[in-house]
Every structure is written in structure tokens, then in C-alpha cells.
Chains A and B, each alone.
Chain A
Amino acid sequence: MTDTDLGTAAATFDGTHSGLAGRLGDSVARPDGVPKAQGSYQFSGDLTADGFLWGATLRSPHPYARIVRIDVSGAWKIDGVAAVITAEDVPGKATYGLISQDQPVFASDIVRFHGEPVAAVAADHPETCRRALAAIVVEYEVLTPLTDPEQAVDGSFPPIHPDGNIVRHQRIIRGDQSIEGPIIVEGTYEMGRQDQAFLGLEAALAIPAPGGAGVELYVATQWLHEDRKQIAACLGMPEDNVRLVLGGVGGAFGAREDISLQVHTCMLALRTGRPVKIQYDRAESFHGHVHRHPCTVWMRHHAGTDGRIRRIEARFLFDGGAYASTSSAVLINGITHTQGPYQCENATVHGWAVRTNNLPSGAMRGFGVVQAAFAHEGQMDKLAAAVGVDPVEIRLRNAMQRGDRLITGQVVDNVAPVARLIRETAALPLPTQPVGGTDHDPMRLPGGAGRTADERHIVRGIGWGVGIKNLMYSEAFDDFSTARVRLADGVASVKFATVEVGQGFITIVGQIARTVLGVGEVVLETIDTQIGSAGSTSASRQTWMSGGAVDGACRLVRERLFELVAAKYQLAAVQLEIDGTDVVDTLGTLRIPVAEATAGILIEETFEHHHVPTEDLDEDGQGNCHTAFAFVAHRAVVDVDPELGLVKVVQIATAQDVGRALNPLSVVGQIEGGIAQGVGLAVMEELLQVNGIVKNATFTDYLLPTFLDMPDVVISLVEEPDPHAPMGAKGVGEPPTVSSTPAVVAAIRDALGKDLHRVPVRPSDICF
């Protein structure tokens, strides 16, 4: 099998669907759109190899238990079983993790969450795997699980992990701590556990090198190099012996940032000497990846009689679940966004991320800021009511501007058009249809046609949410991305390890290369670890970071091209520029096509883009810990059935600070998709655990917004190019999820005149 057979993410961007120009600013269609629409695009779960075996994972049925004994002999007796592995078989480091390596590849002595891997098998058929797993005997001594995160904070529960029950505590102390009132509003806000629920289930195919000297892993992930680092450590191999290739990714939203099946698949392949494929089913997926942190936030705002914020007190408690994952970074994101997109000079904030025997929590779109925004936006509405102004006015009076400081002392040195976003959102049209629509279609009512909503009793509400989201990584991490560009015969080939999860990075690669180099055809090479890291596809960072790397490499190539042309025609390189697909002399008449200028030559350059350095926070939470910020405003209109407790989100209006829309079609797609996830969190999505046991790990019981649940979305793109951003473009993926949720909840409050402090809002919250 060749790389080409499996190099699923490689695609040739031949301009077939690239629109008129295919340059920056155009709404260019995806280069992988054709194979995706034809069904020929290979997702990681579609990959196979000659003679491959299936792998499967045995998981703990208990949230907290001591493993007394594991007997795998029964599995070996089943025909077709080729390998059975447990913790004893891990050849290298026994644990992995993104920030601290505290999570076992397989539990050996203690299981700490419902669904923790205990063993794995490889066999000739998934059904053989299922029977082999059933034949493994694990004797557990069941322990009482720690499920209340408050017990982790107050120390009343013995440590469930050698690293202790507190993953991280951080405070933020700024300004005058004695300020009180005169206006004081206070609230406690809770958020349930949201699942990323990407549609393309976890899947990977591992192919061992002859003699077991190395392994190739084709996997749907978010960060190839970080995966490789963790995998190689667990395999006890040099990183060079492990090659990762991106398998087609069916969505990610944070859930693929951590290791799930990667090490298991490689171990089974190395053990059997044959290719091994693992593919989770939906229930296993719910257990097998991290989720958004459940969180409780208490806030008390002190303001003047004019509603201007004077001081904020806050306490955050993030339930990190059984292992650390990215909890410490999620915590920092949450507490540093306490004030929201508003001016605030004085603050007293304490935050904890703690360990429990719940499912591990980690990255999900919004990464801690979603939790903060639900709280600060609830507070802004309370503040508005307390001083007697409307929700728009209170936000305008406090709106952050460029040059203002966060409560960490960091100056917001990005375009910060908060007031403009609010005004542009307010100017977007409200829905023209009355409750139920002019045609009285029951499908428009809360609950739809299958319910018994009485149209006369439905109440409509309007609510606001405004957000700020940090972009890229924080806290002194040296964040970079790498790209290599080769230009020959008028064709640019671009190599990078940037993971395409569906967000459209591969679309803008072609746009950048066309714009900078004047080429027509752009070839995207296989996305793998055969080049430097791109960092993770997360934190709204890839347009800025990997876009910056591609742009930088293209510019270096263009310099070389201009030098060649200048030498040939006795011109100065500085007087040359790209105009369309030609190199032109700005001071003369020379005009030659790029294809002609590059005939028979090869220019190659590699560029590593780093963002500005950031700092750690000090003990009082002060420091320039973030890289950049984007802003957004949402206005929600909802219809509520107060008798049945059902909600129909009718419309979301939004203005978003995008810097510059490099591909408006793609930007709008990110906004609409992000809002869908925000709406889901507001009114339906919650993965339930009772005493640590997961109760609804299916799409029947974990409710996702369907076509009928999705509101109309009206959008205003606010384009003020950011001077710090390569190409002026801010990341756009996360802001839509940050404040759409509080806007929906505010609208429900508005409809009912009732305080609601928990998401998702349940029928019982509305009715009782």
C-alpha cells in the first residue's frame, strides 16, 4: 500500500470550484468539496490495509474501583484473536497527557472514570473482538467515587490520584479590593457537560514497520506532532520512528486534542506485526474523549448608579474529571475572561480546576470562556435591571475598547470594536414572523408538530450576549506553525502539518498562494509529520498561525522569484510585483506570466510563524498571558411554551469581529456552525452522569440540534483588519459559541420574567 492510497487529506486544488479568482477575500469553495460530495473522500474510519486486524478496547464499568485481578486467558482461547494487551504490555511510558502526563494508557491498579480503558484486543473481525473482550475477566473492588467537585476543593475526599484532587488553583487580584457597590448584583451560574459530538467517530489505522522498528498511524486528530510525541513516549520509541498521517477528520471541536485510541492502535499493530484498525462506536466515543468542563461560577458585580462596573468578585469551579488533560489551561481562560468584553479596573477572582471520578474534561470550542461568558452575561442583565437601563445600553456603557486592560493587567492591543458589534447586531432585522408564523404552522412552535403547544400561550423573548475570546495559546507557550512552499512551472506545492477538521484551512492555503505568488494551480501535499509542527487545530489559531506560515513561506518564495527575474532583465527586485498571474515591473513595461518565469526552475522555502511571546501569570494573576482577542455580539429571539417547558429558538442575530474575512463563505459557515453548538448548549445538550455512571451515551438520549431546531441566523461581518494578524484576519471559530448560549438563556428569561442560572435550560427549569 502506498502513501497515496492512504494519504486521504492530500488534495489537488485545481481551481475547478474556486470561483472567479480564488484569491484572499473571495468566497472560494473547498478543494475537498468534490470528493466529500461524491462520497469518495476517505475519512479515517474508511481506511483499511491488506491483512488488517480490528482492534477493540475493554473499558471499566465503574467510575472508581481497584483492579484486583485481570485474567485475559479466556480471550486467547477465541479463534481469530491475535493480541490481548493490558498495562503490563505498555513498552514505554505508562501514562500520557497534553499538559501533565497523568492518564494511564491502560488502568493497572485503579480505574478512575466510567469507561476507562483496561485492556485491548486485536482480532480478525469486530465480532471476534467483542467476544474476546467479553471473555476477559476483571475483578474490581468498587470504591465510592468522588463526583462533587466541591469535595475536591474542600479537601474532604481522599486523593483519587497520586497528583491530588486539585489540578490547579489560580487567583486574580487587581486594583482596589475594598470597593463595594453602590449597585451590587450577584449570581451563581452552572453549566452541564457538553459533548463535542463530531459525526465522524474516532478511528485510526496503524501499520507496523518490518521488524517492529516503527509504526505509521493514520488518524483523525487535531495535532499530529503532539500526538506523535505522546505516542512515541508510550511506545518507548524515538519520535522519528513514528510517522503520523492525517486520516480524514469528521469534525473535532476539541475532542480530538487528547489521545484516545492512538497508543492502543499502535501497540496492537506492533504486537501482531499486522495493520490494526480501531473504530469507536458512538457510545464508546462518548466515553473515549474529553468533554466541555461542567462548571459553577459565582459572580458579584459592584457598579456605580450609572451601571459602570467598579469591581468584580468571582469564583470558578471547573470539574476536570478523572485526568488533567487541558484543565489547567481551561481554568486560566475562564478566570482571565471574568469581566467579558467590558472595562473593569478592580477584581477579586479565585478559580479551581479539580479532579473527580467523572469523565475527563478538556478542550471544547470556547475552552473555558464559554463558562465565563454565561456568568458575566447573566450578570450584565442583572446589572441592567438594577440600574434601570436596557441590556443594550448597559453593555454599551461598559464596552471595552482597544487599549483597555484585562483584570490580568494585560492591555488589549487588538482591534476591539465592541460597541460597534453591539450596535450592528441591534440594527439587524428582527424576525418578521409572529409566534407560529402567519400560516400557523405547528412546526414553528416549541416542541414542533408532535407536541401539544397552544399557540396562544407561547411567549416570545429577546436576549443579548456579548463575548471576548482569546486567540492562540497562552502562558508563555512558544506557539508556532511551519509551512514549506515549492514553486515550479507555475505550480505551487504547499506542505504543512496543519490538521484540516472541516474548518476550511486547506481552502485558504490555495487563496494565499494564489494571491502572493500569482499562481493558478496549488497542490496541497499530504498532511503528516514529515515537516515541522503546525500546532493544534484549536484556539481559533490556524488561520493566524498556519495561515501566517503559508503566507510567510510564499513571500520568501516570491522574493527569490523577483531576484531571479530582476537578474535576468537587469532590474531591481524591489520594483517587481505580482499582478494577477504575472510578474510586472512597476517602473517599466515588463510583464511575464509567473508560469513562464518559473519554467524549469524550482524555488523552495520553509517558514515558521511564531506569535508574540506571552507570559505566565504571577501569583496574583497578573501578566500578559494571552496572545490576541476577538469579539462578538449575539441577540437571540426565542418562543417559549411555559406550560410544557419547551423552547424554540427563532433567530440569532450576530455581528462578529473577524479582522478580515479571507473567505466570507467559510467565515459564515464557522459562525452558523458555532451558533448551532451554542444553541445546543443553551437548551438541550448535556451528557448526564449519576454517581459517575454515564446515562445517555447515545444520540437518542444526548440531544443535538436538528434542522428543525436551528434558528435563522443573520450575520454582520465586522472587518477591521488587525495589525498584529498575518493578513489582518482574526480566528473566527470560537466566538460564535462564546456568547450565543447566554443570549438564548437571556431571551428565555425575558420571555418568562424568571431567573434561570443553569444550562442547558430544562423543561423543569421553565415550568417549576
Chain B
Amino acid sequence: MNLHLTVNGIAHEVAIDPTERLLDVLRDRLGLTGTKEGCAEGECGACTVIVDGLALNSCLMLAAQAEGRSVTTIEGLSAGGGLDELQSEFIERGAVQCGFCTPGMLMSATALLRTHPEPTSTDVRAALAGNLCRCTGYSAILDAVTSVAVRAAEQPGG
């Protein structure tokens, strides 16, 4: 079957097997390997992408369910090979160690900040509770997300 979806702003038509997951299409058909598979059952969040504004596990979504939808992956977070504010804070504050959870963590955090630009620390913890990190103990990730939120709040009109 043919799947039509937009990934990082680019429209694609992809021939897929009906059993493929969105994760498979992103990684194996479109070569977007920034989205990771850590458990294949929605527990670790390494495969998190944003579909029409909602962060979800691409290992739990059949590719066919993405028909006509807009998907943002880690590769689409910042234009032109740069870094957005959240990515920069992750790097500067030590929220990245092995980095395997980082893309999924960034996608969940991005979705959170889009809908809750001034989250409490409990909001951040709850929103990212579906993303496992085995290296950092989460503290640096909390710092990174919180610092972006605080800066947004301090901006004029923010």
C-alpha cells in the first residue's frame, strides 16, 4: 500500500507493508535514524515523535495510521542543521550522555513546551515519565527543560 504523510515539512509517498510501524517507515524507508527503538512496546520513549502536535511512541503506531498526518522527528526540530534552544540547553547542561534517549526526550519536551510553556517541575517530570534515561538520572534533563521554560516566561509578553 502507499502511505502519504508529511515528515518534517516534506510530503512523502511511501510504498509500505501494512504491518509496518511508523518507526519502521521513519528509520528504514526514510532513513531518519534519529528516532530510536529501545523496547518496541511503548515503555522507553526512545521512539517518540510528534504527530499533529502530539508526542507519541512511533513503535506503537502503525504507519498506515499516519496517513495524511504531519510528523516531526528529531531531524526536524531545528532548521538547517542548527540547534534550537532546547537542544542547546540539553548539550550545555549535561542532559546528554550516551544520547540514545535524547531524541525521544527532546520530542516529548518539545511537545510539552508547545502546550505548556511554563510547566512546573512536576509537570516536566510527568510529561517525560514515558521517556527512560539510564545515564543521567534525569536531573540535568529537568534543568534543561526548566531553563527553557523560565526563559520563555521572562521574555516580554511571555
Docked-complex contact A707 and B125, CB < 8 angstroms:
yes
* A200 contacts B by Cβ under 8 Å: yes
Q: Which of B63-71, B99-107, B148-156 contacts A (4 or more CB under 8 A)?
A: B99-107
B residues near A690, Cβ cutoff 8 Å: none
Docked-complex contact B41 and A698, CB < 8 angstroms:
yes
Interchain Cβ contacts within 8 Å, total number: 172
Q: How many residues of chain A have a CB within 8 Å of chain B?
A: 57
Q: Mark B18-44, 1 if CB is under 8 A from A, else 0.
A: 000000000000001111111111011
Cα separation A197 to B129 with both chains bound (whole Å): 17
* A282 contacts B by Cβ under 8 Å: yes
Cα separation A18 to B132 with both chains bound (whole Å): 27
Give which listed residue, A43, A708, A712, contacts B100 with CB less than 8 A.
A43
Docked-complex contact B41 and A197, CB < 8 angstroms:
no
Q: A502-B97, A504-B97 are in contact. Are A199 and B134 (CB under 8 A)?
A: yes
Cα separation A700 to B128 with both chains bound (whole Å): 17
Docked-complex contact B128 and A673, CB < 8 angstroms:
no
Q: Which of A32-40, A333-341, A464-472, A565-573 contacts B (4 or more CB under 8 A)?
A: A32-40
Docked-complex contact B98 and A34, CB < 8 angstroms:
no
Give which listed residue, B35, B125, B140, contacts A443 with CB less than 8 A.
B125
Q: Mark A659-680, 1 if CB is under 8 A from B, else 0.
A: 0000001101100111111000
Docked-complex contact A699 and B43, CB < 8 angstroms:
yes
Cα separation A40 to B75 with both chains bound (whole Å): 8
* B58 contacts A by Cβ under 8 Å: no
Cα separation A196 to B106 with both chains bound (whole Å): 23
- Residue in A closest to B74 when the chains form the complex, CB atoms: A39
Q: A39-B35, A281-B40, A676-B138 are in contact. Are A29 and B100 (CB under 8 A)?
A: no
* A201 contacts B by Cβ under 8 Å: yes
Docked-complex contact B87 and A38, CB < 8 angstroms:
yes
Docked-complex contact A34 and B139, CB < 8 angstroms:
no
Size bracket of the B interface: 35 or more
Cα separation A713 to B140 with both chains bound (whole Å): 11
Docked-complex contact B74 and A38, CB < 8 angstroms:
yes
Cα separation A708 to B121 with both chains bound (whole Å): 10
The 9 tightest CB contacts between A and B, nearest first, are A39-B34, A502-B98, A36-B99, A39-B74, A250-B100, A672-B137, A33-B91, A699-B43, A676-B137
Could you jot down 20 A-B contacts, CB within 8 Å? Answer: A37-B91, A37-B96, A37-B102, A37-B106, A38-B74, A39-B77, A46-B33, A198-B100, A199-B101, A250-B99, A441-B122, A444-B122, A502-B100, A665-B93, A672-B136, A673-B134, A676-B136, A699-B43, A707-B133, A713-B139
User: Apart from A17-B92, A250-B100, A708-B126, what 17 extra A-B contacts exist at CB < 8 Å?
Assistant: A29-B91, A29-B94, A30-B91, A30-B96, A37-B106, A38-B74, A198-B134, A441-B122, A502-B99, A504-B97, A668-B140, A673-B135, A676-B137, A699-B39, A699-B41, A699-B44, A708-B125
Q: Name A's B-contacting residues (CB within 8 A).
A: 17, 27, 29-30, 32-34, 36-43, 45-46, 196-201, 248-251, 253, 281-282, 441, 443-444, 501-504, 665-666, 668-669, 672-677, 698-700, 704, 706-708, 710, 712-713
